[in-house]
Amino acid sequence: MTNKLPEIHFALPGWVSPFLAAYPEMFPSVEERMKMVVALSLENVRHGLGGPFGAAVFDEEGRIVAPGINLVAQENNAMLHAEMVALMLAQKKLGCYDLSGGGVRRLALYTSTDPCAMCLGALCWSGISRLVCGAKSEDAEAIGFDEGPRHPDWVAQLRARGIDVVLEVCREEAAAVHRRYVAGGGIIYNPADSKAAGP
Annotated catalytic residues are: 83
User: Which of 43, 33, 107 lies closest to 70, judged by CA?
Assistant: 43
Cα torsion 172, 175, 180, 181 to 10°: value is: 160
Return the axis-axis angle of helices 171-183 and 30-47, rounded to nearest 10°.
0
Distance of CA 183 to the CA centre of its chain: 21
Distance of CA 50 to the CA centre of its chain: 12
In the chain, the largest separation of any two C-alpha atoms, in whole Å, equals 55
Q: How many angstroms separate the first and last alpha carbons of the chain?
A: 33
